[in-house]
Amino acid sequence: MAVGQTDFPIMPPILGIQIGTTNAGIKQIERDDLLVFQFPETATCAAVFTQNAFCAAPVHLAKANLAHSPRWLLINSGNANAGTGKQGMIDAQQTCDDLAQLIGGKMQQVLPFSTGVIGQTLPVEKIKNALPKVVSNLVENQWEQAARAIMTTDTFPKGVSKVIVLNGENVTINGISKGAGMIQPNMATMLSFIATDAKISQSLLQQCLLAATELSFNRITVDGDTSTNDACVLMASGCSAAPEILIDSGNYNIFSAAILEVSKKLAELIVRDGEGATKLIRIVVSEAASDTEAVQVAKTIAHSPLVKTAFFASDPNWGRILAAVGRAGVIEMELEKIRIYLDNVCIVRDGGRAIDYTEEAGQIVMNQAEIIIGVKLGRGEFTQTVLTCDFSYDYVKINAEYRT
């Protein structure tokens, strides 16, 4: 069950970016579970990865291969190839080599990505046998098929598209992502792939991606769990007629703003599809002494099981929010300056419940599917927003039955 409108958008092809999908039978046979992106030699590629110490074998290999001008992404769902030791790395290398030999490239030019169950050996032969069909299906207009191929517990495919104009020429940006549980990114989301036809250097593309992920995928949480396989990739084919994007040009500002917009929308879709979610909650912490402090307070609220279950019940139990703010670790917090809101309803002021607050007003807000928690700390001028969702019965059910 997802919160709000989740229809897949119309996504135009990206010049130079080809997509192929098929079903390899990795965990199921109902839908595609294997995906390949191909981009030209003129392309540049940037990526960010999970900071989980037990990061998966494909993460290690993708990090290493990123320095070798990659031309292919190889993605599978249904198996994370994480917690698989030396065999996991051998298997990741083998699948990359299988694709490279089939398509006429080098293993080092393939970036592998996996998502699914942790601790199970990757079915290398199933992937190898399916690769010829994927390669034969490579075309420019399969974005929805790609989004579906990377799903695990997701209830809908997630995609965002945007066109900007640079020097009178169109530049297209498409992005897909997957994720519904084990979401507390520490760099990016579970998996996200963004492509553009812009011309831009690898170093500048990497800079752009780092800035975008920090304010998008690093500002969401479903359950506080950072995955072993988180990764976000930004590909630029260089096939647009627009001039190369340079750091000291206004075009870079336009482009980076568009990448951030696409990333934020993809991140929000993940929260809307949080496992068992019935509510989307925006936590806006303002008047903080720093961005770090604002995020710290917002994530303390977002990670509270008591806050999240109260929202599932539509219970205006504002004391749970107050308690979360109080334990966020803010040094020398001045309680009398703090104001806490549910949408526009002030629930806390002057160190306690706001005098004009009523349970009826709080209940009206809590009955909504989308809610804003506002926290004004009275300490400075910094503001940050974190998105999360509620905890429902279905979250427990989905994760209790994940391997069955």
| Spans of all domains in the chain | 18-272, 280-400
Give per-residue pLDDT as tens, 344-381.
Answer: 999 999 999 999 999 999 999 999 999 999 999 999 99
**Amino acid occupying residue 372:** I
Asked whether 161 and 171 are in contact (CB, 8 A), the reply is no
By DSSP bridging, strand 370-376 and strand 280-288 are: parallel
Q: What is the DSSP letter of 154?
A: -
pLDDT beyond 90 at 281: yes
Confidence band, pLDDT 50/70/90 cuts, at residue 404: low
Task: Give pTM, 2 decimals.
Answer: 0.95
Q: What is the CATH number of domain 280-400?
A: 3.10.20.340
pLDDT of residue 274: 86
Q: CB-based contacts of 104: which residues, under 8 Å, 6+ apart?
A: none
The CATH superfamily label for domain 18-272 reads L-amino peptidase D-ALA esterase/amidase (3.60.70.12)
Rounded CA separation 355/352 (Å):
9
Tell me the C-alpha distance between 49 and 51, whole Å: 7
Torsion from C-alpha of 117, 122, 125, 127, nearest 10 degrees: 60
Q: How many CA atoms lie within 13 A of 219 on its CB side?
A: 27
Share of the chain above pLDDT 90, in %: 87
> Could you give the CA distance from residue 264 to residue 386 in angstroms, rounded to a whole number?
11
pLDDT digits (tens, 9 = 90+) for 183-217: 788 766 579 999 999 999 999 999 999 999 999 99
At 182, give phi and psi (nearest 5°). Answer: 50, 50
Residues designated as active site: 189
Query: What pLDDT, on a 0 to 100 scale, did the predictor assign at position 396?
Result: 85
Q: What pLDDT band is residue 402 in, cutting at 50, 70 and 90?
A: confident
DSSP 36-92: EEE--TT-EEEEEE---TT--HHHHHHHHHGGG---EEEEEEEE---S-HHHHHHHH
> What CA–CA distance (Å, rounded) separates 28 from 349?
53
